[in-house]
Structure 1
Amino acid sequence: MLPDVDITLPRFQQVRLILRDRLRAGFYESGLPLPGERQLAEEFGVARVTVRSALARLQEEGLVARLRGKGTVPTVPTARHEGPPGAALGTSHGGGLLDNIVSMSLRTRVSVLEWRQMAAPARVSAALGLPPGAPVLKVVRVRKFKTHPIAYTEVFLPADLAVAIDRHTLQDTPMLVALEQHGVEVVSAEQTLGAAAADLNVARILRIAPGVPLLRVSRVASDRNGRPVQFLVGLYHPERYAYQMRLTRVGASTKVWIDADPSAQPAASDDV
């Protein structure tokens, strides 16, 4: 039975509404996976494909994340967790922009284009505080939201952290989460925003014309001891990704917006 829902709705929508209300009310323990598809199907008296469709819609809404090896986990605050809607749970970044980045990552899909160890270029070794030419891991990715490419990123990490960033893991797990699961607690980052023109390769990946201006993000993330553990350079689609910041005398608020339809309101946003 599906209680207290409009029975004229498709079954997967009925299941989605019930699970959405439970997630928002904190019914499920933060950081722990939801019951499996089979268990939910038995509870609601529906087919597993119905549950799977409901979970897919909840994932699109940013309410859950489906992680390899962990199942489906909540990505919204529960009654025991204070934070903005959509903030990732089970992380320790303190509800700031890093948490927002993790939350955004959970609502998108990533394809790994390159994963290799190499000698660090000068700018990379300087950013990571390494000797010139020190070995680093380079990861190149394209991130999509609802099949639309929104970002092209190149990320570099010290070679000793390569074991934490398995190529296949990155298909389902945000890099900051993978580092944390390896015992690396990222607590701060220095970030610079600018502009860059799309070259032929990036234009092809983001499906735009060469030379189009892109939002360029350069970020160095550090652990609790102040060690730089990640250097990222990202190029973001100008019509599908935006930062919004509120500046005040006593603090600030930042939003990351993702929009697959430039004519619509932002499809995802988080206060941090």
Structure 2
Amino acid sequence: MAPTPDSPPLFQQVAQTLRQRLRDGTYPVGIPLPGERELTREFGVARTTIRSALARLQEEGSITRLRGQGTLPVAQPSTDEHSKIRNGLLENILRFGQRTRTALVSAQFVQATSTVAQALQVASGTRVMRVVRVRKSHRRPLLCTEVYLPAAIAEGIHPQMLEDMPLLEAIERTGHAFAQGEQELIAVNASPEVAQLLEIATGAPLLRVNRVVADAQGVPIQYLIGHYAPDHYQYRMRLSRTGGTTTVWITD
């Protein structure tokens, strides 16, 4: 990045590029930005320039810098209906996947337990698919998900999709579009199985997400149980006295 007589200061140019990446989802909420050293190499500028650019973005409220976690994007409020749609569940997951990698642990048909059956609105013992995956960033596990799919939907998903595609995107490719969902967040301790997947100690505190996604008719098409390492995630809501509906999704 070379300056010209009429160009703004280098730190402003870097800040503008990073700002645009934050807006278009290149840097998704929940995933740290590249480190100062990596940005210095990319832009070909001094480290002080990178620090000045990040300081400007922090002043604007676009990022937050946390000790031990790095530089994290700050979720911005939607100002129009198009933005709300664009920033919906599937889009958030797709952007999240741009800077993380998925490892498939297992995928097999099982009999629905009473909990799974209730979530998917089927009878206990019904044949469903169970998919366990781990999502990583820089080879470090960030979260693990246990997803249950109705057999009719699972049979239409190509096995390769389970390896490298967000499951909601895979489901939509089978012709089952999601339209609504409910989720709850719970603080839990890591079970031995989850601890092994996330490479943490058994009993370590985790954020658990239980989510049911349904189609336009209210028929469940996915039941997800996600376990998230809390040191990689922030839960933030913007509150207002005026009308509107607050929608908060935790990506998978």
The unaligned stretches of length 5 or more in structure 1 are 8-16, 25-53, 55-80, 85-92, 259-272
* Counterpart check, 1:192 vs 2:184: yes
Output the aligned Cα RMSD. Answer: 2.9
Q: 1:164 to 1:144 in 2, by over 3 A?
A: farther
Partners of 2:205 and 2:230 in 1: how far apart? Answer: 7
- Residues 1-272 of structure 1: matches in 2 within 5 Å? 6=2, 82-83=82-83, 95-249=87-241, 250-251=243-244, 252=246, 254=248
Partners of 1:174 and 1:257 in 2: how far apart? Answer: 10
The unaligned stretches of length 5 or more in structure 2 are 4-13, 22-41, 43-80
Greater share of residues in strand? 1
CA drift of 1:206 comes to: 1.0
CA drift of 1:182 comes to: 1.3
Q: 1:163 to 1:191 in 2, by over 3 A?
A: same
Partners of 2:201 and 2:225 in 1: how far apart? Answer: 20
CA drift of 1:82 comes to: 5.0
CA drift of 1:180 comes to: 1.0
Report if the CA contact (8 A) 2:89-2:251 is conserved: no
1:127 corresponds to which letter in structure 2? A
Q: What's the TM-score once normalised by structure 1's chain length?
A: 0.58
CA drift of 1:94 comes to: 5.4
Greater share of residues in helix? 2
Q: 1:94 to 1:186 in 2, by over 3 A?
A: farther
What is the DSSP-based 3-state SS (H/G/I as helix, E as strand, rest coil) of the residue aligned with 1:118?
strand
Report if the CA contact (8 A) 1:242-1:257 is conserved: no
The one-character-per-residue Cα deviations of 1:203-230 (angstroms, maximum 9, x if unpaired) are 1221211111100000000012211000
CA drift of 1:132 comes to: 1.5
Partners of 1:228 and 1:6 in 2: how far apart? Answer: 54
1:116 corresponds to which letter in structure 2? Q
Partners of 2:184 and 2:101 in 1: how far apart? Answer: 24
Percent identity, please: 39
